[in-house]
Amino acid sequence: MPRVTVYSTQNCPYCRMVKAFLDKYDVDYMAIDVGTDREQAKKMVEISGQYGVPVIVVDDEVIVGFDAQRLNELFGSAKPGDIYDVLIVGAGPGGLTAGVYCSRKMLKTVIISENIGGQALESWAIENYMGYRMVSGEDLMHRFEEQVREEHISLELDRVASIRKEGEIFLAETATGATYSAKTVILTQGKRPRKLGVEGEERYLGRGLSTCSTCDGPLFRDKVVAVVGGGNSALQTAIEMSKIAKTVYLIVRSTIKADEAYITRYREQKNIITYENHTISSLQGNAMLNGITIKDRDSGKETVIALDGVFAEVGWIPNTDFLEGFLMLNEMKEIVIDINCNTSFPGVFAAGDVTNIRTKQIITAAGEGAKAALEAYAYLTK
pLDDT at 78: 54
Would you call 216 a catalytic residue per the annotation?
yes
Residue in 188, 183, 151 with CA at minimum distance from that of residue 376: 183
Percent of the chain with pLDDT over 90: 75
Q: How confident is the model at residue 221 (pLDDT cuts 50, 70, 90)?
A: very high
pLDDT tens column, 164-205: 999 999 999 998 888 999 999 999 999 999 999 999 899 999
Count the alpha carbons within 13 Å of 49 in the hemisphere toward its beta carbon: 7
In this structure, are strands 247-251 and 224-228 parallel, antiparallel, or unpaired?
parallel
Would you call 212 a catalytic residue per the annotation?
yes
Would you call 215 a catalytic residue per the annotation?
yes
Using only the alpha carbons of the chain, give its radius of gyration.
21
Q: How confident is the model at residue 211 (pLDDT cuts 50, 70, 90)?
A: confident
Query: Who's near 295: CB < 8 A, 6+ residues apart?
Result: 278, 279, 280, 281, 301, 302, 303
Q: What is the DSSP string of 285-317?
A: ESSSEEEEEEEETTT--EEEEE-SEEEE-S-EE
Active-site position among 12, 15, 216, 308: 216
At position 118, the amino acid (one-letter code) is: G
pLDDT tens column, 66-103: 888 888 889 876 555 789 999 999 999 999 999 999 99
Domains and CATH numbers, the chain: 4-74 (3.40.30.10), 83-192+316-381 (3.50.50.60), 201-312 (3.50.50.60)
What one-character DSSP code corresponds to residue 274? Answer: E
Distance CA 96, CA 104 (A): 13
For all residues of the chain together, what is the average pLDDT? 93
Q: Is the dihedral of CA 138, 213, 220, 32 positive or negative?
A: positive
pLDDT tens column, 291-306: 999 999 999 999 999 9
Q: What is the DSSP string of 113-160?
A: ESSSSGGGGG-S-B--STT-SSB-HHHHHHHHHHHHHTSSEEEEE--E
Active-site position among 12, 15, 102, 212: 212
Q: How confident is the model at residue 128 (pLDDT cuts 50, 70, 90)?
A: confident
Residue in 47, 34, 13, 280 with CA at minimum distance from that of residue 157: 13
Distance CA 50, CA 57 (A): 13
Active-site position among 15, 102, 215, 341: 215
